[in-house]
Amino acid sequence: MITLSADPYAKKARASGFRSRAAYKLFEINDKFVIFKKGQQIIDLGASPGGWSQVASRKIGSNGLVIAIDKAYIQEFKEKNIVIEFQDIFKKDLDTFLLENYGKSDVLISDCAPNISGNYDQDHSIQSMLAQRAFELSQCVLYMGGSFVCKIFQGSETQEFVKSVKERFRTVKLFKPKSSRKQSSEIYLIARDFISDSE
Ligand SMILES: C[S@@+](CC[C@H](N)C(=O)[O-])C[C@H]1O[C@@H](n2cnc3c(N)ncnc32)[C@H](O)[C@@H]1O
């Protein structure tokens, strides 16, 4: 078992000023799939404590914007291109709120996860609902051609979820970053080239 202090990614994150070891998962995803471009607007769901937002912030530069959303507290960032929204992603009309306040976005990333209870079925079922909600929001807030990155727990519902995402995005891949713990069933879905309703 790896303790947090011995975990190389946790050490590296602390030394480099990232708020979570999860930052390295997003670096790996972006190295492989090239999600971010300068000047983009990014929605980060389940953003606390903020590692993913910091990575996205660097990649999009000072002309871009990261909207960091979580139902848990997020400490203010020193990066000027990150705004924090204290919201539950299941809140009704979150899509309208985002569109009215920020307009459409280029990328929606979701690292949302439940507090792990240890009950496999229960944890998987909540994770599936979080991923489903992230997918639903992506379809409301993304520009045509946009990208969606989402944590999922591999299980009985994965195949069905991938199938539904493929109906709205032209390219869909699954990827397990090296920095994702081997014993975790988490995997990331990377969906690119959103097909908007208006096409
Ligand atoms: C693994 S952490 C995210 C780590 C983050 N990506 C980072 O790099 O620091 C998962 C987050 O999902 C959030 N979350 C879970 N359910 C949520 C919900 N219904 N609405 C908003 N955030 C939620 C949790 O509060 C938690 O902060």
In ligand 1, the atom with minimum distance to the C-alpha of 23 is 8
CA atoms within 13 A on the CB side of 106: 14
Q: Would the CA dihedral through 140, 78, 40, 128 be positive or negative?
A: negative
Q: DSSP per residue over 16-84, as a string?
A: HT-S-TTHHHHHHHHHHH----TT-EEEEET--S-HHHHHHHHHH-TTSEEEEEESS--PPPS-TTEEE
Quick one: which atom of ligand 1 is closest to the CA of 88? 20
**Amino acid 2: pLDDT:** 44
* Mean local confidence (pLDDT), 46-69: 98
Kindly indicate the confidence band of residue 157, based on its pLDDT and cuts at 50, 70 and 90: confident
- Among residues 37, 151, 163, 182, the one annotated as catalytic is 151
Q: How far is the CA of 47 from the centre of ligand 1 (A)?
A: 5
The mean of the pLDDT values for the chain is: 94
Q: Under a CB-based contact definition with an 8 Å cutoff, are residues 58 and 17 in contact?
A: no
> Residue 5: pLDDT band by 50, 70, 90 thresholds?
low
Span 37-52, average pLDDT: 98
Query: What's the mean pLDDT in 34-58?
Result: 98
Ligand 1 pocket by C-beta < 6 Å: which residues?
Answer: 19-20, 22-23, 46-52, 70-72, 88-90, 111-114, 130
Candidates 71, 92, 98: which one to mutate for ligand 1, based on the most atoms within 8 Å of Cβ?
71
Instruction: Return the minimum-mean-pLDDT range out of 37-46, 73-82, 137-146, 155-164.
Output: 155-164
Model confidence band, residue 175 (pLDDT cutoffs 50, 70, 90): very high
Q: Is 32 a catalytic residue?
A: no
Query: What strand order describes the sheet that includes 82-86?
Result: 82-86, 65-70, 41-45, 105-110, 142-153, 186-194, 169-175
Report how far residue 61's alpha carbon sits from residue 64's, in angstroms, rounded to the nearest whole number.
6
User: Measuring CA to CA, how many Å separate 50 from each of 53, 55, 79, 145, 155?
Assistant: 5, 9, 11, 26, 27
* Angle formed by the axes of helices 120-141 and 158-166, nearest 10°: 10
Query: Can you give the residue ranges of every domain in the chain?
Result: 21-194
Return the residue whose CA atom lies nearest to atom 8 of ligand 1: 51
What is residue 199's predicted lDDT score, i.e. its pLDDT?
A: 54
pLDDT at 198: 62
- pLDDT for residue 4 is more than 80: no
The answer to whether residues 45 and 89 touch, using CB atoms and an 8 Å cutoff, is yes
CATH fold of the domain at 21-194: Rossmann fold (3.40.50)
- Whole-angstrom distance, CA of residue 18 vs CA of residue 9: 10
111: its two tokens:
């690292």
Token digits for 147?
A: 């990208």
- In the structure, what pLDDT confidence band is assigned to residue 120 with cuts at 50, 70 and 90? confident
Residue 3 binned pLDDT confidence (cut-offs 50, 70, 90)? very low
| pLDDT confidence of residue 37 | 98
Q: 195: pLDDT confidence band, cut at 50, 70 and 90? A: very high
User: What's the pLDDT score for residue 156?
Assistant: 84
Residue to mutate (ligand 1; options 21, 48, 107; most atoms within 8 A of CB): 48
